[in-house]
Structure 1
Amino acid sequence: MQRAPTSWVIDPDDPRAPPQELWDRMTPEERQRVLDTLPSEFEISEACPPEGDFHFNPKVAARDALGGYFQRIGRRVYLACELPVYYPAERIFAPDVIAVLDVEVKERARWSVSAEGKGIDFALEILWSGSSKKDLEDNVTRYASLGISEYFVFDRKRRRLRGFRLAEGSARYQPIVPQEGRLASTVLDLDLSLEGDRLRFFHGLAPLPETHELLARLGSMVGDLEARIEETETSLDEERRRFDEERRRFDEERRRLDAERQRADEAERRLAEALAELERIKRERG
Structure 2
Amino acid sequence: MKYDSEKRRDDHPRAPSQSEWDAMTPEEQARVYASLPGEVTDAELALPEGDRHFLPKVRAFDTLTGHFERERRRIYLACELPVYYPAERRFAPDLLAVVDAEPGERDKWVVSAEGRGLDLVLEVHVGGDRKKDAERNVARYARLGIPEYFIYDGGKRTLYGYRLTGSRTRKYVPIKPVQGRLPSKRLGLALQVEDGRLRFYENDVQLLESAEFIGELQKVNEKLRRSVRSKSRSLKKEAQLREEAQQRLAEETRLREEAQRQLAEETRRREETQRELKQLQAEFARLKNHRG
TM range (shorter): 0.7 to 0.9
Instruction: Name the stretch that deviates more: 157-166 or 61-70.
Output: 61-70
Q: Which residue of 2 aligns with 1:223?
A: 222
Cα distance between partner residues in 2 of 1:7 and 1:46: 23
The alpha-carbon distance between structure 1 residues 246 and 162, as it changes in their structure 2 partners (threshold 3 A), is same
Read off the aligned partner of 2:5 and give its amino acid letter. Answer: V
| Pick aligned residue for 1:122 from 120, 123, 141 | 120
Alignment gaps of 5+ in structure 1: 250-255, 257-286
Tell me the percent identity.
48
2:211 counterpart of 1:212: yes
Q: Which residue of 1 aligns with 2:5?
A: 9
| Conserved 8 A contact 2:3-2:16 | no
TM-score, normalization by structure 1: 0.78
Query: Offset at 1:142?
Result: 0.3
Rg bigger for which structure?
2
Cα distance between partner residues in 1 of 2:186 and 2:152: 17
Cα distance between partner residues in 1 of 2:238 and 2:7: 78
Q: Which residue of 2 aligns with 1:138?
A: 136
Cα distance between partner residues in 1 of 2:239 and 2:31: 71
| Conserved 8 A contact 1:127-1:154 | yes
Specify the SS of the correspondent of 1:134. helix
Moved over 6 A (4+): 239-249
TM-align CA RMSD: 2.8
Q: Which residue of 1 aligns with 2:105?
A: 107
Following superposition of structure 1 onto structure 2, how do residues 70-85 of structure 1 map, counting pairs within 5 Å?
70-85=68-83
Query: Offset at 1:210?
Result: 1.8
Cα distance between partner residues in 2 of 1:228 and 1:237: 14
Query: Offset at 1:73?
Result: 2.4
Following superposition of structure 1 onto structure 2, how do residues 171-182 of structure 1 map, counting pairs within 5 Å?
171-182=170-181
Alignment gaps of 5+ in structure 2: 249-253, 255-292
Cα distance between partner residues in 2 of 1:238 and 1:196: 48
| Conserved 8 A contact 1:44-1:50 | no
Specify the SS of the correspondent of 2:183. strand
Specify the SS of the correspondent of 1:68. helix
TM-score, normalization by structure 2: 0.77
Cα distance between partner residues in 1 of 2:80 and 2:27: 27
The alpha-carbon distance between structure 1 residues 140 and 45, as it changes in their structure 2 partners (threshold 3 A), is same
